[in-house]
Structure 1
Amino acid sequence: MSSNQEDSSTSRQVREVDLTAAGRGVWLVKVPKYLSEKWKKASGKCEVGRLKITRSKLPGTKPEVTFSMNDVQMKQEVPGKPTITPKEHKFLLTGVGNQNLVVFSEQKKDAANSSSSSTAEDISEKIAIEGKVIQRAECRPVVDSSYVNLKKEQRVVMNKPRREIKQIALPVNVYKPKSDHKANIEYQKKMKEEGKRIRMDKDEVQNKLFSIFEKHQYYNIVDLVRLTNQPITYLKEILKEICIYNVKAPHKNMWELRPEYRHYKEAK
């Protein structure tokens, strides 16, 4: 035997299926969603409703099947669902055809006793056939006042906006309030350290610019404002008189002294 066959034989165990109720006939019924939700909430020993089958005297005619919901079940509310539930329902019977349908049941072990590494086959304790489907049907509510009210309520729930404006009596603090933001504090600190730029005399500013341009030939406006500590509009007025603004590469957007004010030594 190969290793693959050994792995498959050990991973899948043979299970016994209880066939005691295999010959029992069962009905496969499609029910509305509100019915299934109420039945899930019901306890296992209560009466969810009553089924009435009326056989016709005419040969070849299908019987009339009605289902009346229990009053206790009707009063049970499902969160987020319409509160109105129709009581009377009718079954629309259809044939099974050539299909061979059966109902299985699976009894599982207690989740606390089973380990986390157990497979689905290990957890299932008992598998049984509960019966063979001999009749298919569809459960439909009877169109009466309760059914009309149900459809109205469903339409209201569907058209209800997901986001609504609600008026609150007291403010809701979802964040911790701050007296001032970090950006404002840093800006105020910077302004306090630099101080307010006061206009100097025009001749003093020109002399300062001449001394600055002795070190380098080209400067941008940001550096000139920082070095002279003058308002930018006032500084630009003086620069237009003694400097040239370059608009082309390689010294684009930079200032230099006019030729009549230059006193640079020629490079050897």
Structure 2
Amino acid sequence: MSQVAASSSSQGSGAPGPSTASSSQSGHSSSKVDLSLVNRGIWLVKVPKYLAERWARIPGNVEAGKLKIYKSNSGGGKPKVTLSLSEATICAKEAGDDDIPKEHDLIATAVTNQTMVAFDVESGAQDEDPEKLSVLGKVHQKLECRPVYDTNYMQLKKTAIHKASQPTRQVKQLDRVVQSYKPVSDHKNNKEYEERKKAEGKKARDDKEKVLEMLFSAFEKHQYYNVKDLVRITNQPVGYLKEVLKEVCNYCVKNPHKNMWELKPEYRHYKMETDD
């Protein structure tokens, strides 16, 4: 449902005040707010969405409909209010739109414990006052526009229910190739890695004495190594290198050199640290 205020283009809320108000209170760019009509009574009408869409399509100078107010037979009863749409509103439909009901009832409720005010914004000269903000009146009645349940309304609701029940995604048969991302057997980074490995060539086993020579030379520089660094230094297969390491090295399983290799005592050429 949409809400429209009688004799206004927009709505707002606020308490009555003097003839002008500062923009800091209203949050508007205009320097002053015209409050000359703040005490005028207006209606705030809640209308169905289909009716608000039709009214948005017709020009502002065209008759949108007629209100009829019937006095109640009993003195204390509320008057009956009806809305009859004009032909311009009924005919302002787009392709695929159903006919809408012409007659509507307006159910009124009193505004209590709150103050509601309708505002209007009028564009002005850019060099003086870009926009003029004025109050059109205070809401005295709130009304809900309800359609009369006729054939047009039933067809309208049937169409709305049918559209709401349609799934948002449907299976569609393709008659052409659609350009999209498809699964690949291998990714680019994996291919680059494999190409780099091929360019380096397959690691071949060197003579054991040559491997030992490279290991001893490396351990002269550092006491501890992990297996990755030793593979890089010797350029030997991991399995073969570990076989050689087990002969001349110990594998550390405790911190601070966990998972690293160190020469066995009989192959070391440095002095062990002793406590004094």
What TM-score comes out, normalization by structure 1 length? Answer: 0.64
Deviations 1:49-92 (A, max 9, x none): 34344456x3425444322334543354589x985633321122
Alpha-carbon distance in structure 2 between the residues aligned to 1:214 and 1:97 = 94
Partner of 1:223: 229
| RMSD (Å), alpha carbons | 4.4
Tell me, yes or no, if the aligned pair for 2:117 and 2:135 is still in contact at 8 Å: no
Partner amino acid, structure 1, of 2:231: V
- Matched with 1:86 is 101
Distance change (3 Å), C-alpha of 1:221 and 1:78: farther
Q: Name the CA distance, whole Å, in 2 between partners of 1:212 and 1:221.
A: 12
| Letter aligned with residue 235 of structure 2 | N
Correspondence 1:210 to 2:216: yes
Q: 1:225 to 1:78 in 2, by over 3 A?
A: farther
| Residues matched between the structures, number | 239
Tell me which of 45, 48, 51 is aligned to 1:32.
48
Letter in 2 for 1:171: V
Distance in 1 separating the partners of 2:240 and 2:48? 82
Partner of 1:266: 271
The answer to whether structure 1 residue 114 and structure 2 residue 126 are counterparts is yes
The worse-fitting range, judged by mean Cα deviation, of 191-200 and 154-163 is 154-163
Are the aligned partners of 1:38 and 1:78 in contact in 2 as well (CA < 8 Å)?
Answer: no
1:224 CA drift (Å): 0.6
Q: 1:196 to 1:71 in 2, by over 3 A?
A: farther
- 1:124 corresponds to which letter in structure 2? K
Is residue 2:132 matched to residue 1:124? yes
What is the CA–CA distance in structure 2 between the aligned matches of 1:108 and 1:189, rounded to whole Å? 68
Unaligned runs of 5+ in 1: 1-7, 175-179
Counterpart-to-counterpart distance in 1, 2:236 and 2:154: 81
Please, which runs of 5 or more residues in structure 2 have no aligned partner? 1-21, 23-29
Equivalent-residue separation in structure 2 for 1:241 and 1:186 (angstroms): 36
- Give distance in 2, aligned partners of 1:94 and 1:35: 21
- 1:163 deviates by 6.3
Cα gap change, 1:77/1:234 in structure 2, threshold over 3 Å: closer, same or farther?
farther
Conservation of the 8 A alpha-carbon contact between 2:33 and 2:135: no
Distance 1:181-1:136 versus aligned 2 partners, 3 A rule: closer
Matched with 1:3 is none
The one-letter amino acid paired with 1:243 is: C
TM-score under structure 2 length normalisation: 0.63
Larger helix share, 1 or 2: 1
Give the whole-Å Cα distance in 1 for the aligned partners of 2:138 and 2:256.
91
